[in-house]
Amino acid sequence: MQVQRVVLNSRPGKNGAPVPENFRLEEITLAPDLKDGEVLVRTLYLSVDPYMRCRMNEDTGADYLTPWQISKCVDGGGVGLIDSSRCNNFAAGDVVISFNWPWQTHAVMTGSDLQKVDPQLVDGHLSYFLGAVGITGLTALLGIREKGHITKRANHTMVVSGAAGACGSIAGQIGRLDGCVRVVGICGSDEKCKAIVEDLGFSTAINYHLEDVPTRLKESCPDGIDVYFDNVGGAISDAVIAQMNNGSHIILCGQISQYNKDVPYPPPLSEETQKNLQSKNITRERFTVLNYMSKADAALCELSQWIKSGRIKVLETVVNGIENMGDAFCSMMKGGNIGKQIIKISH
209/311 with CB nearer ligand NDP = 209
Q: Which residues inside 192-221 make contact with ligand NDP, applying CB under 6 A?
A: 192
Residue 192 dihedral angles phi and psi, to the nearest 5°: -65, -40
51/81 with CB nearer ligand NDP = 51
- Single out the residue of 97, 109, 187, 193 in contact with ligand NDP (rule: CB under 6 A): 187
Asked whether position 243 contacts ligand NDP by CB under 6 A, the answer is no
Asked whether position 256 contacts ligand NDP by CB under 6 A, the answer is yes
Asked whether position 188 contacts ligand NDP by CB under 6 A, the answer is yes
β-strands 38-47, 106-110 pairing: antiparallel
If one counts every other C-beta atom within 10 angstroms of the C-beta of residue 11, the result is 16
Residue 54 DSSP code: H
- Single out the residue of 157, 231, 237, 273 in contact with ligand NDP (rule: CB under 6 A): 231
- Asked whether the beta carbons of 332 and 18 are under 8 A apart, the reply is no
Q: Which residues inside 18-77 make contact with ligand NDP, applying CB under 6 A?
A: 49-51
- Single out the residue of 257, 273, 304, 324 in contact with ligand NDP (rule: CB under 6 A): 257
- Single out the residue of 43, 60, 136, 204 in contact with ligand NDP (rule: CB under 6 A): 136
41/232 with CB nearer ligand NDP = 232
Chain centroid offset of residue 116 CA: 21
- Transcribe 99-152 into DSSP letters: EEEESBSEEEEEGGG-EE--GGGGTT-GGGGGTTTSHHHHHHHHHHHHHT---T
The whole-angstrom separation of Cα 242 and Cα 296 is 33
Asked whether position 253 contacts ligand NDP by CB under 6 A, the answer is yes
Q: Which residues inside 271-290 make contact with ligand NDP, applying CB under 6 A?
A: 287-289
What burial letters (b/e) apply to 65-75, b meaning 16+ CB within 10 Å? eebbeeeebbb
Asked whether position 302 contacts ligand NDP by CB under 6 A, the answer is no
18/50 with CB nearer ligand NDP = 50
SS (H, E, C) 182-242: EEEEEECCHHHHHHHHHHCCCCEEEECCCCCHHHHHHHHCCCCEEEEEECCCHHHHHHHHC
Q: Provide the minimum distance between the beta carbon of 203 and ligand NDP in the complex, in angstroms, as a whole number.
A: 17
Asked whether position 162 contacts ligand NDP by CB under 6 A, the answer is yes
Chain centroid offset of residue 96 CA: 19
50/76 with CB nearer ligand NDP = 50
Q: Which residues inside 312-341 make contact with ligand NDP, applying CB under 6 A?
A: 332, 335, 337, 341
The whole-angstrom separation of Cα 40 and Cα 92 is 9
CA neighbor of 162 nearest in space, from 95, 255, 70, 88? 255
Q: Which residues bind ligand NDP (CB under 6 A)?
A: 49-51, 135-136, 139, 162, 164-168, 187-189, 192, 231-232, 236, 253-257, 287-289, 332, 335, 337, 341
